[in-house]
Amino acid sequence: MRKEEMTTQRTADQEWRPNLFIAGFAKCGTTELCDYLSQHPDIFLPYEKEPHTFYDLAKYPAYFSGDNTGNRRNRIFSLNDYYELFSKGKKHRYRIDGTVSYTFDPKFSVILKSFSENAKVILLIRNQTHRLASVYFHSFLIHKEDDFAKWINEYFIPYINTFLYYDKIAAYYNEFGDHNLKIIETNNLGSNDVHVQLFDYLGVK
């Protein structure tokens, strides 16, 4: 059997596919939430939280990558590598893909829904001013721009559409609806009430 045929056969199996996308937004607490949920015996998180497999935009936002050419990007796992990541979680009720770049463009909601039809999605939102400061410091070691106003003009403004909430939330709601979409404000992420809501939403103890 050829490698291409083997990949097609393996990835056609539905049981390995991620079915819980914690898709963003960037710098809103997705890593914390992924780590918290992965402690549950019914929830699987692979060693790579953000495989970026379906990311196909020409560039990464400079505010995210720290590179104002937009050419620097994280590793994008092939579909075969994606299988290797998640096939280990077949026996778990949920398998998490925590790729935040899936909220850089509304189209990713359609792609994720097409790939994993019965998946659930969690989106985290945060005060945008706090979030902006966070992305600045997150990539500072790469961009090394001390002038915040200059950074805004060169690294943020050209990519501002990828940072905004409304169109992405509307797209995810359109694809996944009330039942399979949960939106949480980061300020409340650590509260017991939110934890109860999360586990009710996921239907696990």
What is the per-residue pLDDT for 70? 72
Distance of CA 139 to the CA centre of its chain: 18
How many C-beta atoms lie closer than 10 Å to residue 159's C-beta? 18
Q: Where are the alpha helices (DSSP H) in 38-75?
A: 62-65
202's CB contacts (< 8 A; 6+ apart) are 20, 43, 94, 120
What is the per-residue pLDDT for 4? 58
Q: How confident is the model at residue 3 (pLDDT cuts 50, 70, 90)?
A: low
What is the per-residue pLDDT for 72? 74
Tokens linked to 114: 């097409």
For 154-190, what is each residue's pLDDT tens digit? 999 999 999 999 999 999 999 999 999 999 999 888 8
- State the residue for tokens 């039942």: 179
CA dist., res. 87 & res. 41, Å (int):
16
Q: Is 80 exceeded by the pLDDT of residue 192? A: yes
Q: Is 60 exceeded by the pLDDT of residue 7? A: no
Task: Please give the angle made by the CA atoms of 173, 179 and 183, to the nearest 5 degrees.
Answer: 55
What is the per-residue pLDDT for 71? 73
Decide which of 9 and 54 is more confident. Answer: 54
- State the residue for tokens 């359609």: 110
Q: Are 10 and 18 in contact (CB under 8 A)?
A: no
144-153 average pLDDT score: 97
Model confidence, pTM: 0.92
Cβ neighbourhood burial of 61 (10 Å; 0-12, 13-18, 19+) = buried
For 71-120, what is each residue's pLDDT tens digit? 777 889 999 999 999 999 999 999 999 999 999 999 999 999 999 999 99
Q: How confident is the model at residue 8 (pLDDT cuts 50, 70, 90)?
A: low
Q: Are 175 and 118 in contact (CB under 8 A)?
A: no
